[in-house]
Structure 1
Amino acid sequence: MKNEISASGNSLFEQIKQTDANGNEYWTARKLAKVLAYSEYRHFIPVIERAKEACKNSGQHIEHHFEDILEMMLLGKTAKREVNSIKLSRYACYLIVQNADPNKEVVALGQTYFAVQTRLQEIRQMDEYNRLDTEDEKRLFLRNELAKHNLQLAAAAKGAGVVEPIDYAIFQNHGYMGLYGGLDAKAIHRKKGLKKNQQILDHMGSTELAANLFRATQTEEKLRRENIQGKGNANKTHFEVGKKVRKTIQELGGEMPENLPTADSIKQVEKAHEKKRLK
């Protein structure tokens, strides 16, 4: 979209993010509604209500994520007045975009943005992950998470019609091409200086593994949520999700995955970790 990226390179969702007195990030419902192209706030209220219900069903406290506030709105050129609004957490925004009009392009962008950011926040908040001190420990943790989610992604892809091994290889390549700026598995191998018998995932650092974990989890969710059918549609979905994850990394000022350094084989790290555990 034309207004998706500002001159500063930040997404619309970053531009309207605010920080309270305690340093907590939040969004307001009025501004989010405007960004998501709802012409009138009253049309946005049912979306918020569905998000609150989803919040409750997920076992979360609604009041921790949706707080009623008064927001100052500009009326005309100079006039202002306070109107009812809601202070939203990142998780609340994630639930809102999942329940918003999927036909709006900006909603699709919001789904990827908040899904990636929410997943990143979840990883950072994981007690197990936060106890990890070294890069190798983080790599092992994320590699195991990715292995688990790749199985779930394969199952979701099979449900969409990606059945044969060659078809799944093509499906995976579409995800890589979206995330790696057009590079397929062979091109990534060359870019990273890997041999044919070396697995790409075994030579990723924690940052690159995290990006691919986001790609896998969000593609799986989208395939299931939208009941996508057909190999072509599944491939397109994987590519688009990978591309959007890439865009989010760019907006956050991160290094593109193809430019991240090639790590030593994770198998060596696993052996060292097992020896340490046995001792």
Structure 2
Amino acid sequence: MSDIQKYSERTFEDIKHVNEAAKMAGVETPQECAVFQNKGYQGLYGGLGVKEIHQRKGLKKSQKILDHMGSTELAANLFRATQTDEKLRRENIKGKEKANQTHFVVGKTVRDTIKKLGGTMPEDLPTPDESVGQLERKELKKLENKNKIK
């Protein structure tokens, strides 16, 4: 398994954890989960939600935002997700509105930290030319070719 695959799988595992914590807080339906995720993005991306981020990155509706992030942007999103997960569980937050507000505030706090450090805002970071999936396929092909040579 390549480093890219390991990192990608770990990221999606952490996203699943925050979704589990949200469910425990009262975010239940797929629509409520979408609103919850959108609130986190809005906090981190200065008010931009999933639709706006897709447009800004030039992504198709079927493409996942997380698959089209560079390491800095992905790390900010992973930090947002893990910290939201921890806060929801630690403070035993209940109710979908409180969970949504928590996700927004954590996202905004991560954004404020990036700003304070003089970093580039997530929405202004470049979108990689290749998605995580494309990079994984390239890596697998390299490994296959390397194994054929042996």
- Give TM-score scaled by structure 1 length: 0.50
Cα distance change on mapping 1:253 and 1:141 into 2, 3 Å? farther
Amino acid at match of 1:261: P
CA distance in 1, matches of 2:82, 2:64: 20
Q: Could you say which residue in structure 2 is the equivalent of 1:226?
A: 91
What is the correspondence of 1:169-180 to structure 2 with a 5 Å cutoff?
169-180=34-45
Moved runs in structure 1, 4+ residues, more than 3 A?
139-142
What is the correspondence of 1:235-250 to structure 2 with a 5 Å cutoff?
235-250=100-115
Higher helix share: 2
Amino acid at match of 1:235: N
Cα distance change on mapping 1:142 and 1:211 into 2, 3 Å? farther
CA distance in 2, matches of 1:191, 1:221: 30
Amino acid at match of 1:268: Q
What is the correspondence of 1:263-274 to structure 2 with a 5 Å cutoff?
263=128, 264-274=130-140
Quote the sequence identity (%): 59
Q: What's the C-alpha RMSD, in Å, of the aligned pairs?
A: 1.4
Q: Could you say which residue in structure 1 is the equivalent of 2:74?
A: 209
Q: Could you say which residue in structure 2 is the equivalent of 1:149?
A: 14
Aligned partners of 1:219 and 1:237 also within 8 Å = yes
Cα distance change on mapping 1:247 and 1:241 into 2, 3 Å? same
Deviation at 1:194, TM superposition (A): 1.1
Deviation at 1:140, TM superposition (A): 4.5
Amino acid at match of 2:136: E
CA distance in 1, matches of 2:60, 2:115: 28
The C-alpha deviation readout for 1:120-142, integer Å capped at 9, x for no partner, is xxxxxxxxxxxx9xxxx5x5554
Deviation at 1:212, TM superposition (A): 0.4
Aligned partners of 1:142 and 1:206 also within 8 Å = no
Higher strand share: 1
CA distance in 2, matches of 1:231, 1:225: 16
Mark the runs of 5 or more structure 2 residues left unpaired by the alignment: none
RCO greater where, 1 or 2, for CA within 8 Å and sep 6 or more? Answer: 2
Mark the runs of 5 or more structure 1 residues left unpaired by the alignment: 1-131
CA distance in 2, matches of 1:187, 1:213: 19
Aligned partners of 1:174 and 1:235 also within 8 Å = yes
Deviation at 1:277, TM superposition (A): 2.5
CA distance in 2, matches of 1:153, 1:210: 15
Deviation at 1:146, TM superposition (A): 1.4
CA distance in 2, matches of 1:155, 1:143: 19
Q: How many residues align?
A: 143
CA distance in 1, matches of 2:126, 2:20: 31
Deviation at 1:199, TM superposition (A): 0.9
CA distance in 1, matches of 2:85, 2:62: 27
